[in-house]
A and B are shown apart, each in its own frame.
Chain A
Amino acid sequence: MNGAGANAAEGLTALPRAVGSAGFRTLLAKEVLRFWKVSFQTVAAPVLTGVLYLLVFGHVLEDRVEVFPGVGYTAFLIPGLVAMSLLQNAFANSSSSLIQSKITGNLVFVLLPPISNREFFLAYVTAAVVRGLVVGIGVFAVTVWFAPPPLKAPLWIAVFAVLGAALLGVLGLIAGIVSDKFDQLAAFQNFVIMPATFLSGVFYSVHGLPPFWQAVSHLNPFFYLIDGFRHGFFAVSDASPWLSLAIVLAALAAASAVALSMLARGYKIRN
């Protein structure tokens, strides 16, 4: 692999080859160790947040809302909270790591070595998936005691957890590349990622919404992430998991193509 130039189109198909490289593995290890060293902030804090949501909303709404027949509200809420924490932390990992390295200037340590764009991309996204899964599992492990949800199709849970974290990891990478300052990144997080995850059916089933808002929800790719993820628990969902899978894969491919093409052009990173 003495990569003679890397363009985005070739990038997507050639991703698997990058996994074997020492550059990828080292950068992945560095990225995982980076968040693990501050796990109180990167893991424990989001787990606590998830638990607080559950305690407050679960307590208030448990007796008033039945989303799916025979499923209590707290049990319904747990997979949604797990998914939301997982997605938000995957985004936070790649975006904040990249922008910190850009602003402090230590990104140069990764740009000087012979690391390809694909390896760079994969390392940041994989680390984001690891962080998302660690936080997601943490939230689940703490909340599951309140109202254990069934695990009817665990494979779907795993598929949507990994793909969702990967999608948000890629979006975080893009946000980190594009942003020059922390407040630009914060805007991306607060005005795009937060509303999209909040309005994707974490706290409710979109079936309960008026038709117009149902239609709007169906345009939000995060809705399919949460819906597919929840399907793995209850085997009941608003959309077919296969449709959700197709939409999530398409969103992931599109976002990855954008990120790889930015990296191939050196956009804001090697200019």
Chain B
Amino acid sequence: MPDIAAIEVTELVKRYPRVTALDGVSLRVEQGEFFGLLGPNGAGKTTLISIVAGLARASSGRATVMGRDVVADYRAARSRIGVVPQELVFDPFFTVRETLRFQSGYFGLRRNDDWIDEVMANLDLTAKAQANMRTLSGGMKRRVLVAQALVHRPPVIVLDEPTAGVDVELRQGLWAFIRRLNREGHTIVLTTHYLEEAQQLCGRIGMLKGGRLIALDRTQALLQRLADVQVRLRLRGTLPPALRGRAIEQGDGRVKLRVAAAADVEGVLAACREAGAAIDEVEVGHADLEDVFMQLMAGDRQRVAA
């Protein structure tokens, strides 16, 4: 069923009394994708995820999970999606295993211990199975949240800022596990503030700003929107006016310039020399997702259809 989208939202609008959180977002995430949803705080990422997961209701528009409407056919939709919430929430009354058993039961799974054991093993939780949730560290609680999202083996997994405040070791382990799930056919949707992570993991990215989708493209295509080559300089003196148009970022004696090709770097250096600016440091590299993100968020409202 390749024509059924893992997640599809159509003209989704969410208005709160004081603010419009989503302003007509349409988006399709295909099955098997590793999709990144990026945007600054308040862009509408969590609202979008909440509507898809059934935690909030859209003011208008429609959302489906694996072709099932999240309102009209909510049982089917919810049993096909697992959500790792952003907040580090837990129920202080129960142990890790109790938490995972209850979560299984909510999805109608009575004898789920084999899978629970497997998920716990993959998330390094086995030793903590009998520990009360209250006694766990933040990183451990985060792992339990991931495990809770997976108890019903959902084809679509949504992770809302899963690595916020998580140590490096857990982050690596978590991504290895999520990548494996993706290889095994699960669709992954990720929101994160760590753009490096999104760049490494996501095949396609949507960027939200002010409740609107301002970019939606393959990660590589997004990166190519900026000139392929960048020169980072540390200068004493001012940047020659001729080069100002190329500046992506500037400040504190450092500038980042875009150039069309590696051969143009020489011209940039020459221009600086002629203008009397001493160059302390030169670094030549490629644009990363952060550059693209900064540029898009800076205000140019180019809306791109996928």
A-side interface residues toward B, CB under 8 Å? 1-5, 21-23, 25-27, 29-30, 33-34, 37-38, 101, 104-106, 108-116, 266, 270-271
- State whether A114 touches B107 (Cβ < 8 A): yes
- Chain A min CB distance to B168 (Å): 26
- State whether A5 touches B53 (Cβ < 8 A): no
Which residue of A1, A5, A25, A26 contacts B71 across the interface (Cβ within 8 Å)? Answer: A5
Q: Looking at the complex, which of B85-93, B198-206, B217-225, B256-264 is the stretch in contact with chain A?
A: B85-93
Complex interface: chain B residues within 8 A of A21 (CB): 108
- State whether A2 touches B54 (Cβ < 8 A): no
- State whether B106 touches A109 (Cβ < 8 A): yes
- Chain B min CB distance to A111 (Å): 6
Interface string of B102-114 (1 = CB under 8 A from A): 1111111110000
B19 contacts chain A at the CB level, 8 A cutoff: no
- State whether B54 touches A111 (Cβ < 8 A): yes
- State whether B89 touches A108 (Cβ < 8 A): yes
| B contact patch SS | loop
How long is the Cα–Cα vector from A5 to B73 in the complex, in angstroms?
8
Which residue of A2, A26, A38 contacts B93 across the interface (Cβ within 8 Å)? Answer: A38
Residue of A nearest to B68 (CB): A2
- State whether B78 touches A109 (Cβ < 8 A): no
- State whether A114 touches B108 (Cβ < 8 A): yes
- Chain A min CB distance to B57 (Å): 5
Which residue of A4, A109, A115 contacts B91 across the interface (Cβ within 8 Å)? Answer: A109
6 sample A-B contacts, Cβ–Cβ < 8 Å, listed by A number: A37-B93, A105-B85, A105-B89, A106-B89, A106-B91, A110-B106
Say whether, besides A3-B75, A111-B55, A270-B56, A26 and B106 are in contact (CB < 8 Å). Answer: yes
B-side interface residues toward A, CB under 8 Å? 53-57, 71-76, 78-79, 83, 85, 87, 89-94, 98-99, 102-110, 148, 152
How long is the Cα–Cα vector from A34 to B133 in the complex, in angstroms?
13
Residue of A nearest to B109 (CB): A22
How long is the Cα–Cα vector from A34 to B74 in the complex, in angstroms?
27
Which residue of B75, B91, B104 contacts A114 across the interface (Cβ within 8 Å)? Answer: B75
- State whether A22 touches B93 (Cβ < 8 A): no
How long is the Cα–Cα vector from A37 to B91 in the complex, in angstroms?
13
Residue of A nearest to B88 (CB): A105
- State whether A109 touches B57 (Cβ < 8 A): no
Say whether, besides A5-B72, A22-B108, A29-B105, A112 and B89 are in contact (CB < 8 Å). Answer: no
How long is the Cα–Cα vector from A236 to B102 in the complex, in angstroms?
46
How long is the Cα–Cα vector from A33 to B105 in the complex, in angstroms?
14
- State whether A109 touches B148 (Cβ < 8 A): yes
- Chain A min CB distance to B82 (Å): 8
Complex interface: chain A residues within 8 A of B148 (CB): 109
What 5 pairs between A and B have smallest CB-CB spacing?
A: A26-B105, A113-B106, A114-B75, A105-B89, A22-B108
Complex interface: chain A residues within 8 A of B57 (CB): 266, 270-271
Which residue of A2, A34, A109, A270 contacts B76 across the interface (Cβ within 8 Å)? Answer: A2
Known: A112-B53, A114-B74, A266-B56. 9 other contacts (CB 8 A): A22-B105, A23-B106, A25-B105, A26-B104, A29-B105, A104-B91, A104-B92, A105-B89, A113-B106
Complex interface: chain A residues within 8 A of B109 (CB): 22
Say whether, besides A2-B76, A109-B148, A266-B57, A34 and B93 are in contact (CB < 8 Å). Answer: yes
- Chain B min CB distance to A131 (Å): 14
Residue of B nearest to A107 (CB): B89
Complex interface: chain A residues within 8 A of B110 (CB): 22
- Chain A min CB distance to B256 (Å): 40
How long is the Cα–Cα vector from A23 to B90 in the complex, in angstroms?
19
- Chain A min CB distance to B85 (Å): 5
Which residue of A29, A109, A271 contacts B103 across the interface (Cβ within 8 Å)? Answer: A109
- Chain A min CB distance to B140 (Å): 16
Complex interface: chain A residues within 8 A of B87 (CB): 105
Residue of A nearest to B104 (CB): A26
- State whether A106 touches B90 (Cβ < 8 A): yes
- State whether A112 touches B73 (Cβ < 8 A): no
How long is the Cα–Cα vector from A38 to B132 in the complex, in angstroms?
14
Complex interface: chain B residues within 8 A of A115 (CB): 106
Complex interface: chain B residues within 8 A of A113 (CB): 78-79, 103, 106-107, 152
Complex interface: chain A residues within 8 A of B98 (CB): 33
Complex interface: chain A residues within 8 A of B73 (CB): 2, 4
